[in-house]
Amino acid sequence: MKKKKVNEGLFSASKRFSDAFFDGLKNNATNKAINVAKKNKSVPSKIVSKMEAIEKASKELEQMIKDLEK
């Protein structure tokens, strides 16, 4: 029984690590896309503002969901 708990703990830790890793990659890609759009003068500022608003709303939603899980 003890071995099963250890394996579950390892699986849980591995999942949290991989989730955090891929979330980091996603966030870096999103931030990079927003920064490129800001620097590219052919992208209207309304679009850049909307991209930033969507990113902010996404982070707020993720936090709400995490708060519910507690």
* Beta carbons of 48 and 38 less than 8 angstroms apart: yes
pLDDT digits 0-9 by tens, 2-18: 555 556 666 777 888 88
Domain positions in the chain: 2-69
3-state secondary structure of 53: helix
Q: How confident is the model at residue 53, as a pLDDT?
A: 95
Nearby residues of 52 by Cβ (< 8 Å), 6 or more positions away: 34
**From CA 43, how far away is CA 58, in angstroms rounded?**
22
Q: How does residue 57 score in pLDDT terms, banded at 50, 70 and 90?
A: very high
Q: How does residue 48 score in pLDDT terms, banded at 50, 70 and 90?
A: very high
Q: How does residue 69 score in pLDDT terms, banded at 50, 70 and 90?
A: confident
pTM of this prediction?
0.63
